[in-house]
Amino acid sequence: MSRCIRLLIGFDGTAYKGWQRQSHAPTVQATLEQGLSRICGHGVTLHGAGRTDAGVHALGMVAHFQTTVTHPLRAFVKGVNSLIPADIRILDAAEAHPSFHSRFDALGKTYRYDCCTGPVQEPTTRLYEAHFPGQLDQRAINASLQHLIGTHDFSSFEAVGSRDPAARGRGAVRTIYDARLKKTAQARYSFFFTGDGFLRHMVRNLVGTLILAGRGTISPARFAAILTSRDRKQAGPTAPARGLFLETVYYDRHTFPFRQQQS
């Protein structure tokens, strides 16, 4: 009898070319599939809740796979973790409904972007936060962030050429439920974005543009105009991948209050 196994995964993306399997580069998906295939004794295809770019990290990636083996769930945690590098870890495994799909069943995701603004970055943080030396105007950033709340076309913040314009679907339209900036320590900040989905490089392009607002280079009104322009050329630079973390993927309506607020 086939089983659907749902995994909670954390990884340090520094050494990988992103989540998605590639033929000539190390990826998180391929590394996990190799370990799972050895434990299961058959080829495993792992389906993730989304793709992450090279250098991006995850604290709560969710993925699922099908298997007929009767191993206890702990085998998919301890067993696979013993076979893969320490920068990837399966944190939990659970039985899921046969129809469960980690990508299509997700209600939303939260991404966090960490950065520091001090004149010199500490070497131990260089792989996990971006460095934007100088002062940030938090009020200007927060005013800009408010323009993101709701359903919008985010073409201005999508990586150029990342999506086939002729492809069916909702295009670049996404809903952002929550967008905020938090000062976590002296000269350290975290951006948080929760939405029903994200385009390629969307969070990093948003952060790159919001930093301009924090520097006074653009106003919150100009940020709003960039959003409505649907023109990537008007937005700011793409922020480095190393500051980005996939924090949470939501499936339970009871623990995802943002969706209830929008309904």
C-alpha angle with apex 108: 106 to 114, nearest 5 degrees? 130
Q: How many CA atoms lie within 13 A of 169 on its CB side?
A: 12
- Rounded Cα–Cα distance for residues 163 and 145 (Å): 25
By CB neighbour count within 10 A (0-12 exposed, 13-18 middle, 19+ buried), where does 153 fall?
Answer: middle
Dihedral angle, C-alpha 193, 195, 198, 204, nearest 10 °: -10
Q: Answer left, alpha or beta for residue 55, where phi above 0 means left and psi between -120 and 50 means alpha.
A: left
Record the tokens describing residue 96, joined without a space. Answer: 């899921």
Q: Give yes or no: 53 in active site.
A: yes
Q: Catalytic: which of 53, 87, 196, 252? A: 53
Catalytic sites, residue numbers: 53
